[in-house]
């Protein structure tokens, strides 16, 4: 019998042993390659086969008013999604879905046949629709948790707050202006399916949103409501095209209200797109006679004119070259104070001729005309104020009484606030702080003085002149308050239509502040294209009065000493 371990067997045994070792090394090397060096690549390929990742809408921060009342919040909602690769019968699923969601089955089927891992069926579905989908329990469908922006006060402050899209990004207004602060980084979820890609096994969170900053405004919800109601009343009464108002604290530049009418509900966006426009910063118009306040400031600051300086107003008609300028009522000799009080255009031109166009231009620029206010709201325009070197004689005259330059409601409010603030222009302020979810202050905004427009003495003198506008023989008598002195000015400006001044379309305005001695609020009211009457003292002044009365009462500002008795006497005299 031969020895199995003899000389002929050993080489073969050794060869088999080496071969097996080599095979083991090859297998081990392959395993290392697959599990170590190509692990990420293979895992990604596997995830494409049995899963997908989607990002949930970022959780936006809250927008608060100055007293931390919610103006814009994000609510949890469900959206309906489909995974086309998981669908066995797209046609049948489309018909069932169309019946449940009341939509076109053909369009649904086209979407369900897409060669994609994930498609949206209905974003921000209603509670009834979500229940139907749950009850149907269709394969290849899932409910995705998202966030939807909600505005609890509906129309109040809608144009200022703006809108968000379905993807949670700001589209208009403060939502757009502060999108980087309000928008978080969102959550991510992994969808896990079975091997046949027909059934959703689970949704696994990959990343949770850490939240975003909450914005605290200077706006006061109560003052905003007061302003909107007053503007709406005048727009409806005079069948006007639109109206707007701004309420500011002249000491800080804080905006307490920004009213627009017509309104819209940002929770249900319908109607005209232009109703969503924040007219207080986007609409330019000629200031009309409200500009005479700044003419008076320029004249007094120059030292060439004082409140008692007399000017002949040509009995109502004045020729400048080949152009005839008229006053609403004829006047002879008037002082600077009287020119502002009765709003004489001819008197304003005469004052402008004395001080010269360069001085008037520099004063208007100093008050902020022709410049952005710095409030950083989308769509804001700077207005138009051309350099004095480009003014012809007639243009220098018309700019003196508010024609030939354009401004905005916010710009006017900020300029009048500078008169109330002893001549210092404050930057309009809309946001006072940014806080986190726990209420901890992340960022604080402080009032900012931009420049001094005129001296304190000039500002106080102009304020005294503005008080005469509210007297019984002034143009702003309808703005008189009971218990508080008022400084204000009426404005009535023709609109430019097709390059020419219209004979029947006007901008009516009233801007002022109260109380006169220690101003707490500046209010600018502008009514666009009123009918029946177009004078600012008739159309806009009553809205100014209502806003001031209710706001000063809300702010607990005590009546001026002796003013209640004086205004009561004036009311009795007026009735007589």
Catalytic center residues:
289
Q: Can you say whether the dihedral through the CA atoms of 383, 273, 232, 484 is positive or negative? A: negative
10 Å Cβ neighbour count for 227?
30
Residue reference for tokens 């086309």: 84
Distances in Å between the Cα of 401 and the Cα atoms of 116, 340, 397, 512 are 65, 10, 7, 17
Q: Are 174 and 97 in contact (CB under 8 A)?
A: no
Per this entry, what is the length of the chain?
Answer: 576
Q: Are 235 and 446 in contact (CB under 8 A)?
A: no
As given in the structure block, the two tokens for residue 244 are 């707007």
Distance, CA of 85 to chain centre: 43
Alpha carbon distance 103, 92 (integer Å): 14
Among 394, 388, 391, 397, residue whose Cα is nearest residue 311: 397
Q: Torsion angle, CA of 84/89/95/101, rounded to 10 degrees?
A: -40
Beta bridge partners of 424: 452
Among 184, 181, 182, residue whose Cα is nearest residue 58: 184
Who's near 245: CB < 8 A, 6+ residues apart?
227, 228, 230, 231, 257, 258, 259, 280, 409, 523, 524, 525, 526, 543, 547
CA angle 360, 407, 524 (to 5 degrees): 105
Instruction: List, in sequence order, the alpha helices (H) in 255-310.
Output: 279-282, 292-302
Distances in Å between the Cα of 175 and the Cα atoms of 59, 267, 299, 376, 513 are 13, 14, 43, 12, 30
Q: Are 328 and 492 in contact (CB under 8 A)?
A: no
Q: Are 379 and 281 in contact (CB under 8 A)?
A: yes
Phi, psi of 386 (to 5 degrees): -75, 150
Among 25, 62, 3, residue whose Cα is nearest residue 212: 62
Distances in Å between the Cα of 55 and the Cα atoms of 52, 72, 125, 340 are 10, 22, 17, 62
As given in the structure block, the two tokens for residue 266 are 């940002």
117 exposure class (CB count in 10 Å sphere: 0-12, 13-18, 19+): middle
Alpha carbon distance 199, 437 (integer Å): 38
């Amino acid at each position: 019998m031969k020895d199995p371990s003899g000389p002929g067997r050993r080489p073969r045994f050794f060869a088999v042993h080496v071969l097996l070792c080599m095979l083991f090394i090859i297998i081990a090397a392959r395993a290392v390659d697959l599990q170590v060096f190509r692990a990420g690549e293979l895992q990604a390929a596997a995830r494409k086969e049995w899963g997908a990742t989607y990002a949930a809408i970022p959780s936006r921060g809250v927008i608060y008013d100055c007293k931390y009342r919610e103006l814009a919040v994000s609510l949890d909602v469900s959206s309906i999604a489909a995974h086309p690769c998981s669908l066995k019968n797209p046609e049948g699923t489309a018909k069932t879905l169309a019946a449940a969601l009341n939509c076109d089955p053909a369009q649904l089927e086209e979407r369900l046949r897409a060669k994609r891992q994930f498609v949206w069926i209905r974003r921000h579905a209603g509670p009834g629709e979500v229940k139907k989908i749950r009850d149907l329990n269709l394969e290849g469908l899932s409910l995705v948790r998202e966030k939807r922006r909600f505005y609890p006060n509906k129309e109040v402050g809608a144009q200022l707050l703006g809108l968000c899209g379905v993807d949670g990004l700001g589209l208009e207004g403060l939502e757009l202006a502060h999108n980087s602060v309000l928008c978080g980084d969102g959550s991510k979820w992994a969808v896990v399916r079975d091997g046949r890609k027909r059934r959703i096994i689970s949704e696994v969170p990959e990343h949770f949103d850490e939240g975003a900053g909450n914005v605290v405004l200077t706006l006061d919800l109560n003052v905003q409501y007061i302003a909107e109601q007053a503007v709406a009343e005048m727009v409806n009464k005079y069948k006007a095209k639109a109206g707007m108002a701004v309420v500011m604290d002249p000491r800080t530049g804080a905006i307490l209200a920004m009213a627009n009418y017509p309104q819209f509900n940002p929770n249900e966006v319908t109607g005209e797109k232009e109703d969503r426009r924040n007219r207080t910063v986007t609409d330019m118009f000629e200031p009309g006679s409200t500009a005479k306040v700044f003419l008076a400031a320029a004249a007094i600051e120059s030292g060439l004119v004082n409140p008692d300086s007399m000017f002949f107003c040509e009995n109502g008609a004045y020729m400048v070259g080949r152009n005839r300028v008229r006053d609403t009522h004829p006047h002879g000799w008037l002082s600077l104070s009287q020119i502002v009080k009765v709003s004489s255009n001819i008197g304003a031109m005469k004052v402008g001729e004395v001080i010269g166009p360069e001085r008037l231009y520099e004063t208007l620029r100093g008050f902020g005309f022709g410049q952005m206010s710095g409030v950083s709201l989308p769509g804001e325009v700077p207005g138009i104020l051309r350099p004095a070197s480009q003014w012809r004689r007639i243009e220098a005259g018309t700019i003196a009484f508010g024609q030939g330059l354009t401004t905005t409601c916010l710009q006017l409010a900020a300029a009048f606030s500078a008169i109330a603030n002893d001549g210092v222009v404050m930057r309009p302020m809309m946001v006072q702080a940014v806080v986190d979810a726990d209420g901890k202050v992340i960022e604080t905004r402080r009032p900012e003085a931009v420049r001094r427009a005129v001296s304190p003495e000039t500002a106080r003198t102009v304020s005294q002149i503005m008080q005469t506008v509210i007297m019984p023989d002034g143009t702003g008598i309808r703005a008189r308050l009971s218990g508080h002195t008022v400084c204000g000015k009426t404005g009535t400006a023709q609109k430019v239509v097709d390059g020419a001044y219209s004979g029947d379309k006007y901008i009516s305005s009233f801007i002022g502040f109260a109380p006169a001695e220690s101003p707490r609020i500046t209010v600018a009211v502008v009514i666009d294209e009123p009918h029946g009457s177009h004078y600012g003292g008739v159309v806009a002044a009553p809205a100014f009065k209502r806003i001031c009365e209710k706001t000063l009462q809300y702010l607990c500002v005590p009546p001026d000493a002796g003013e209640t008795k004086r205004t009561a006497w004036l009311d009795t005299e007026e009735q007589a």
